[in-house]
Amino acid sequence: MTTAVPINTFSIVGHCPRTNMLGVGVASKYLAVGAVCSHTQAGVGAVSTQAYGNPYLGVDSLVLLQQGLNAQQTLARVLKQDPGREKRQLLMVNNRGDAAAFTGSLTTPWCGHLKGQGCAVAGNMLTDETVIQSMADAFEQSAEEELAERLLLALEAGQQAGGDKRGRQAAHLQVVHTEAWKYVDLRVDEHPSPIEELRRIFEVAKRELFPFRNLYPTRNNPGGDWDMDEYERISSLVSK
């Protein structure tokens, strides 16, 4: 019989009141952790589900948030329907910055969560509680930055404070803005230093990927094709 492997993880969900961006940052000694933990929907919310993870907690939470339930109501509703809730961690934030978090009684220590200004942070099998406190502090102290940067700074602070005591393997950064497609969606699925690698990829994306976002179709302006003059202008800047 195969023994279930917990997603021993530290993660943060955050909201930017200035831009209304929503996002998740997550890191773990667990392969491709973002594929299971991270759930976002533009204009609705951001959710992370971990420990003995149940991805449906993320899927169903976004449905309830979209229906108008606040974060605490949503948390209570989805956990009530989950018989394995005492082995879970769940954290979420809605489009007003209202956050909620839960750590089940059977979650592997050190485990815990906290809520900050426009964010929630949680972790399990960590070195100690300073990991999540450092993450919340980094997020709150970088309010002038764009949300993706703030989430990445939080992950870096958590790693510097000790991170997952089993080691390092994967990290994910996901942000939504005004459209259904992901504004930022960068992951490191298997690497000895995943957060450092995520930072490297993020810096490359700022130069070579993000400048093209304004060319993408939107719901209000689907367009027929990219503006090729603008594409060539951006391409010339990116190639320098």
Q: Range with the lowest mean pLDDT among 27-31, 74-78, 181-185? A: 27-31
pTM for the full model? 0.93
The tokens 């603008």 sit on which residue? 230
Q: What is the pLDDT of residues 97-118, one digit of tens each?
A: 999 999 999 999 999 999 999 9
Give the number of other Cβ atoms within 10 Å of residue 221's Cβ: 7
Give the number of other Cβ atoms within 10 Å of residue 234's Cβ: 17
Whole-number percent of the chain with pLDDT over 70: 93
Residue 154's pLDDT band (boundaries 50, 70, 90)?
very high
Q: Which pLDDT value is given to residue 167?
A: 79
What's the residue count for the chain? 240
Q: Give dist(CA 59, CA 39) in Å, integer.
A: 7
Q: What is the topology classification, in CATH, of domain 9-208?
A: Glutamine Phosphoribosylpyrophosphate, subunit 1, domain 1 (3.60.20)
Q: Give the residue extent of every domain in the chain.
A: 9-208, 216-240
Q: Side-chain half-sphere of 223: how many Cα atoms within 13 Å? A: 10
Q: What is the pLDDT of residues 175-195, one digit of tens each?
A: 999 999 999 999 999 999 999
Task: With beta carbons less than 8 A apart as the criterion, state whether 25 and 76 touch.
Answer: no
- The stretch 4-32 carries a mean pLDDT of 89
Residue 24's pLDDT band (boundaries 50, 70, 90)?
very high
Q: Which pLDDT value is given to residue 232?
A: 75
Whole-number percent of the chain with pLDDT over 90: 79
pLDDT higher than threshold 80 for residue 137:
yes
Q: Give dist(CA 177, CA 92) in Å, integer.
A: 16
Q: Give dist(CA 21, CA 119) in Å, integer.
A: 12
Q: Give dist(CA 176, CA 151) in Å, integer.
A: 13
pLDDT higher than threshold 80 for residue 160:
yes
Q: Give dist(CA 37, CA 28) in Å, integer.
A: 10
- The stretch 64-72 carries a mean pLDDT of 98
Residue 6's pLDDT band (boundaries 50, 70, 90)?
low
Q: Give dist(CA 184, CA 18) in Å, integer.
A: 17
Residue 215's pLDDT band (boundaries 50, 70, 90)?
confident
Q: Give dist(CA 233, CA 239) in Å, integer.
A: 10
Q: Which pLDDT value is given to residue 230?
A: 74
- The stretch 138-163 carries a mean pLDDT of 96
Q: Which pLDDT value is given to residue 1?
A: 36
Q: Give the mean pLDDT of the chain.
A: 92
Q: Which pLDDT value is given to residue 9?
A: 87
Residue 2's pLDDT band (boundaries 50, 70, 90)?
very low
